[in-house]
Amino acid sequence: MKIGPLPKDLDLRGLAARGVVIKGTASVHALPRLREAGIGLNGEAVAEFHFSRDEEARYILETCVEATLTMTCQRCLQEMDLPLMTGSRMACVWNDADAVALPGGLEPLLVGETADLNEIAEEEMLLAVPVSATHEEDCLTEQRLYPPASERAPEVAPEQGVKSPFAVLEKLRT
């Protein structure tokens, strides 16, 4: 089954009332905040959205986003791929008062008349990115810390007859 790009300008309430499931992809070009944070995508992000209503008649959105992010390792400063799989359960709210009234298992999603699923997927990815991304394996190997002798700068032998810069202090002492 081939899936297409995530749609924009959707009525989340109407989708939740009908119990719709939407699955789509997002490219790095559709995710400007990710690019601004210096994060790239290896391929495309795949997102799945399940819309429903709960027993309190709230509009519920369950998300699942899978992507491979391209970031800079904060240990070795080399590019690295970070597999990411994140998801959450949100309730559509229209103001801060509605958000405060939500039960503990639901995150608030502040929406207007329409919403862009790319923005929701992007927010999920940004929230899941680690503060300091590093390779899983030890990327600072002994070889990087101590390069082979052939790559080191040649050692300079101390010259004979060169006076120490502290020789002047010897005169002051006597």
The number of distinct structural domains making up the chain is 1
What is the average per-residue pLDDT within 117-127?
93
Decide if pLDDT at 159 tops 80: no
Asked if 25 and 4 touch (Cβ cutoff 8 Å), the reply is yes
- What's the confidence (pLDDT) of residue 34? 92
| Alpha-carbon distances, residue 160 vs 148, 163, 164, 166, 172 (angstroms) | 29, 9, 11, 16, 24
Tell me if 161 is assigned to some domain: no
Tell me if 83 is assigned to some domain: yes
How many residues can be counted in the chain? 174
What is the average per-residue pLDDT within 53-80?
91
Tell me if 149 is assigned to some domain: no
Tell me if 70 is assigned to some domain: yes
Tell me if 115 is assigned to some domain: yes
pLDDT band at 143 (very low <50, low <70, confident <90, very high): very low
DSSP track, 8-49: -SB-HHHHHHHT-EEEEEE-GGG-HHHHHTT-EESS-EEEEE
| Alpha-carbon distances, residue 66 vs 63, 74, 96, 165 (angstroms) | 10, 22, 29, 63
